[in-house]
Structure formats: C-alpha cells, structure tokens
Amino acid sequence: MSEHAEKVSRCCPSASRSGTAPAARQAVAAGASREAPPARLVPIKGGATTTGTNTPVLRHDGESPIRRHRLPPYRIDPYAVTNAWFKRFVETTGYRTDAERFGWSLVFHTFVPEGIQVQRVVDTPWWLKVFGADWAHPFGPQSSIEGLENHPVTHVSWEDAVAFAEWAGGRLPTEAEWEHAARGGLPRATFPWGETEPTDKTPLCNIWQGRFPHDNTLADSYFGTAPVDSFAPNSFGLHNMAGNVWEWCADPFRIRSVGARARQANHAAAVENMKLLKGGSYLCHKSYCYRYRIQARTGASADSSTGHMGFRLVF
Ligand SMILES: [Cu+2]
C-alpha cells in the first residue's frame, strides 16, 4: 500500500476539535452516586503477555514491534458500555458530553437525514459534522436512542469515557489489557476467534460488507451498531472485541519506532492529545480499513467523538 493510500484509507475521521472553545468541562463529583461494578465482569488472570506484531499490516499505525508486558489480574466487561448504562450516568450526574458542549459530532454520511445542517470532513468525506448530534441523538437532533438501548453508546470522547468510568468505579483498559482479553487465551491470535478471515459472506463480526463507503450488503444484518451481546463471544466470553465500535483505551496513541517519521507522528499525536482506540468498527473492511485485527490500532484526540467510537471498562 502506498504511503498516501495508507494515510487516507481508514474509516476514522481526522477532524479535531482543538482550537475551538466550548463551555468548560464539568467535573463529576468523585464517588457521587457511584454504582457497584456489574456482576457479569470476567476475571482475567494476568501474567506475561504481549501487544503488537512483528509482521505488521499497517506499519504506520505502530502495530509493530511486539511489546512485552506483565499484567496484574483484572476484570473486564464482556460488553461495551450501552446507551442504557450511559443514560443512567447522565441522569444521575447531569454530565454533559464533549459533543454536547461543542454542539456537534461526526455522523457517517448514510445516517444523516436530508436537509440537516452539516459540514464535510477533509480526507474522510463520508463523515459529516452534524450540529445537534450526540450520544442521545446519534444521527442528528431529530434522532433518538429508542430501540438502541442495548447498543454501544457512541459520540462519547475519551474524556467522557473517563468521566463515566470514574462514576462506574472502573477504568479504561490499557492496550495490553485490551489485547490480552481480546485474544481469549489464543496465542498471537489475529481475531478474537482465531485466524479465520471474515468475508463478505461470513462476516463473523460487525464490520462492513460490500464496497466502502457507499454499498453495504448488510450480510451481518447491521448497517450501524449491533447490540453489545450480538455475535459469538471469544473464549473468555467477551463480545465484539472485533468490529461494532472502536473502543477507547487508557493509553496515549504513540508509535514504537526510532524512525524520523514515527517521531514526527508522535509529536503531532502529543500536540493533539491523541488517545488509543482498538477493535475497529462497523465501518471497517479489509479492502479499505483492515483494523478489526487485534494488533491493529488507531488514535483520535481525547475530545473527539463519532458515531463509531465507544468503550468498555475494566475493574
Ligand atoms: Cu476501520
């Protein structure tokens, strides 16, 4: 893949909110209305593990080299945080998300109704800046989450995810915790179920089928998000570690390389306060954005939000 192709061939937008000045972020009182951790959490033993691969597909994302880690035991949610759970958080705390404070969020073009005020995103024109889009109005001001209660919450920034985690008594996983859990005990697995490649006929997870970004054949039955408990879980019982929504991790987005290009990218990532995302989304397709592999990764600024980024918690 040429450098240029790799630069633009991703499902994620490159728009950042830095430079604009919204209302001040509101702190959630620590410990206020804190919930008990959900009973469904899956205990993970921890121990020696790795992130990344020595045979990267998208080298400039920083998939290589293999990095070694030692993990203490932790517990992970088998599901991404749902709209229903996030709603409870907002109702108990009055929290306002970054999308609400900025007044807009990024919606994939096919979900945007006619006649709504939008702006296109340079480099990723299938993302539209929609005024009035937020977690409760995922497709614009006239939309709602009715019927999507059990779908992953979207249009939440890294900052929103951290605020939610604080309230829920959990935290965002590190990349090492996320990858270790996603492999479900399979050494060096490419996907949560092993090595079988999803195809347009046998999707195995909620990704794109057909020609991105206009024709989705819906072989997996979902155009956008799917319920958090859909598709077969991995052997740890975790659902949708590949596809559905990108999941925010605790780590900043950095590339492990001494090359000048990586140094430049890391500098830009630091200036933008970019955070790591894992797992790919319903928009990924092998022909365009082969990022539903466990070792794949991307980054976005901590205050950005889209209709295909969510998160899950560890405890
Ligand atoms: Cu993608």
Which residue ranges make up each domain of the chain? 40-97+149-310
Distance from the alpha carbon of residue 288 to the mean position of ligand 1, in angstroms:
8
Bridging pattern class, strands 274-278 and 246-252? antiparallel
Bridging pattern class, strands 104-108 and 74-76? unpaired
Average pLDDT over residues 193-215: 91
Distance from the alpha carbon of residue 293 to the mean position of ligand 1, in angstroms:
10
Q: Given this model, what pLDDT does residue 292 score?
A: 97
Average pLDDT over residues 206-231: 90
Average pLDDT over residues 198-211: 91
Is CATH 1.10.274.10 the classification given to domain 40-97+149-310?
no
Tell me the C-alpha distance between 113 and 115, whole Å.
Answer: 7
Bridging pattern class, strands 74-76 and 67-71? unpaired
Distance from the alpha carbon of residue 285 to the mean position of ligand 1, in angstroms:
7
Distance from the alpha carbon of residue 13 to the mean position of ligand 1, in angstroms:
10
Q: Given this model, what pLDDT does residue 68 score?
A: 96
Distance from the alpha carbon of residue 292 to the mean position of ligand 1, in angstroms:
7
In the block, tokens 């790795």 appear at 50
pLDDT band at 4 (very low <50, low <70, confident <90, very high): very low
Give the residue, 76 or 121, on which the prediction is more confident.
76
Distance from the alpha carbon of residue 12 to the mean position of ligand 1, in angstroms:
6
Average pLDDT over residues 208-214: 87
Distance from the alpha carbon of residue 33 to the mean position of ligand 1, in angstroms:
36
In the block, tokens 């709603």 appear at 87
Average pLDDT over residues 33-55: 92
Residue pair 122/16 in contact by the 8 Å Cβ criterion:
no
pLDDT band at 194 (very low <50, low <70, confident <90, very high): very high
CA proximity to 167, closest of 98, 250, 101, 85: 85
Tell me the C-alpha distance between 94 and 63, whole Å.
Answer: 38
Q: Which residues surround ligand 1, an ion (CB under 5 A)?
A: 11, 280, 284, 289, 291
Tell me the C-alpha distance between 108 and 118, whole Å.
Answer: 11
Q: What angle do CA 27, 30, 35 make, to 5 degrees?
A: 115
Q: For residue 1, is pLDDT > 50?
A: no
Distance from the alpha carbon of residue 123 to the mean position of ligand 1, in angstroms:
14
Distance from the alpha carbon of residue 31 to the mean position of ligand 1, in angstroms:
35
Query: What radius of gyration do the chain's Cα atoms show?
Result: 18
Distance from the alpha carbon of residue 141 to the mean position of ligand 1, in angstroms:
25
Share of residues in the chain with pLDDT > 90 (%): 74
pTM tops 0.85, yes or no: yes
Distance from the alpha carbon of residue 11 to the mean position of ligand 1, in angstroms:
4
Distance from the alpha carbon of residue 283 to the mean position of ligand 1, in angstroms:
6
Q: Describe the chain by its helix, strand, coil percentages, rounded to 5.
A: 20, 20, 60
pLDDT band at 23 (very low <50, low <70, confident <90, very high): low
Average pLDDT over residues 67-90: 98
Q: Given this model, what pLDDT does residue 8 score?
A: 47
Distance from the alpha carbon of residue 226 to the mean position of ligand 1, in angstroms:
16
Distance from the alpha carbon of residue 210 to the mean position of ligand 1, in angstroms:
14
Average pLDDT, rounded, for the chain: 91
Q: Given this model, what pLDDT does residue 258 score?
A: 79
pLDDT band at 148 (very low <50, low <70, confident <90, very high): very high
Query: pLDDT (tens digit, 9 = 90+) per residue, 263-314?
Result: 999 999 999 999 999 999 999 999 889 999 999 999 999 999 999 999 999 9
Q: Given this model, what pLDDT does residue 33 score?
A: 59
Distance from the alpha carbon of residue 60 to the mean position of ligand 1, in angstroms:
15
pLDDT band at 3 (very low <50, low <70, confident <90, very high): very low
Query: pLDDT (tens digit, 9 = 90+) per residue, 90-134?
Result: 999 999 999 999 999 999 999 998 888 888 888 888 999 999 999
Distance from the alpha carbon of residue 20 to the mean position of ligand 1, in angstroms:
26
Q: For residue 244, is pLDDT > 70?
A: yes
pLDDT band at 6 (very low <50, low <70, confident <90, very high): very low
